[in-house]
């Protein structure tokens, strides 16, 4: 049943990441807008099937839901066999953040929402690291076997 614990911890980390991002995005200027990057990816994919989401509120909702699922799945790998949780969390958090900066352009997405300023770049990496560290904390404490 370790996989259930890992998924639960990954979901906790994913929710924490999204709460942090949404709270800061709505209250502070010059911060990453990862939501815009995600929305572009969602609509680019759906457009290939002739089904882009036109309503901005619906697009934000779908993007947030998919982001929660994708990050929960990604962060759940931190638990793995239960070994080296903190080093894995740091490595995976940094990798996700750096990936968010470096992958948009090769994927045909506009990287500006996360790369326009140094502050946005540092915060983007920090957000993903935060989610990974929350996942590790959940694995080590809240969800102790």
For residue 142, pLDDT over 90 is answered with: no
For residue 136, pLDDT over 70 is answered with: yes
**What is residue 2's predicted lDDT score, i.e. its pLDDT?**
85
Two structure tokens written together for 45: 């994919």
**What is residue 140's predicted lDDT score, i.e. its pLDDT?**
92
Question: 3-37: per-residue pLDDT in tens?
Answer: 899 999 999 999 999 999 999 999 999 999 999 99
Q: Where along the chain do its domains lie?
A: 2-142
> What is the average per-residue pLDDT within 94-111?
98
Q: Closest Cα to residue 73, out of 129, 10, 143, 4? A: 10
For residue 144, pLDDT over 80 is answered with: no
For residue 71, pLDDT over 90 is answered with: yes
Give residue 81's pLDDT band: very low, low, confident or very high (50, 70, 90).
confident
Q: What 8-state DSSP symbol labels residue 44?
A: H
**Cα gap 50→142, rounded to integer Å:** 44
Residue with structure tokens 């995600």?
38
Q: How many CB atoms lie within 10 A of CB 102?
A: 12
Q: What is the pTM of this model?
A: 0.94
DSSP conformation letters of 38-91: HHHHHHHHHHTTT-----HHHHHHHHHHHHHHHHHHHHHTTTTTSSSHHHHHHH
**What is residue 15's predicted lDDT score, i.e. its pLDDT?**
98
């Amino acid at each position: 049943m370790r996989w259930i614990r890992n998924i639960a911890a990954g979901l906790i980390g994913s929710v924490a990441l999204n709460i942090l991002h949404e709270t800061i995005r709505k209250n502070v200027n010059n911060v990453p807008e990862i939501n815009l990057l995600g929305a572009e990816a969602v609509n680019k994919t759906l457009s290939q099937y002739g089904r882009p989401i036109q309503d901005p509120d619906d697009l934000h909702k779908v993007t947030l839901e998919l982001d929660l699922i994708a990050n929960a799945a990604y962060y759940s790998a931190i638990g793995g066999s239960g070994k080296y949780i903190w080093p894995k969390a740091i490595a995976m958090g940094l990798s996700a953040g750096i990936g968010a900066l470096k992958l948009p352009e090769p994927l045909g997405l506009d990287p500006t929402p996360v790369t326009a300023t140094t502050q946005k770049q540092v915060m983007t990496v920090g957000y993903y690291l935060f989610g990974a560290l929350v996942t590790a904390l959940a694995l080590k404490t809240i969800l102790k076997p």
